[in-house]
Amino acid sequence: GFVAMRQERDIEEQRRVHAALAHDDLLALLADTGSRTTALAALPAAPRSGGRVVWNPEKRRAMLFASGLDPAPAGKAYEMWVIAEGPPVPSGLFQVDPRGRVVADLPWLDQTAGAKTFAVTLEPAAGTPAPTGPMVLAGNVS
């Protein structure tokens, strides 16, 4: 019991530290003049949600922050999609914290620089090569 409790505390502490670092990264990325931001709007599958994608073509860095999402059911994860010229391209899997929030680094894709739309769907935890689940967030690049 005790060791497991301590391990859980350590994991929680690591998660907090990681979240704080991610938050600092996000603020730095937001402050960079070369960064662009796209708001993600709630869709009927997640009516209380909202978010933003911040990306910087020079730094080849993209981050997501979102809130108001329900924790994904067992065996599921949220998957980010970038839609540029062709079909949606997977751009990372993420889970939200118990309060429904996430700050996540997204892998940089060639498509990110020319993105027209960012979207999030609920998918099997391993991810899928094309969206299959309900779309929870989406935003068009202005």
pLDDT confidence tier of residue 118, bands split at 50, 70 and 90: very high
pLDDT digits (tens, 9 = 90+) for 19-39: 777 788 888 898 999 999 999
pLDDT confidence tier of residue 1, bands split at 50, 70 and 90: low
On the 0-12 / 13-18 / 19+ scale of CB atoms within 10 A, 88 is buried
pLDDT digits (tens, 9 = 90+) for 94-117: 999 989 999 999 999 999 999 999
Are 41 and 138 contacting, i.e. CB atoms less than 8 angstroms apart? yes
Beta-ladder partners of 89: 82
Reported pTM: 0.86
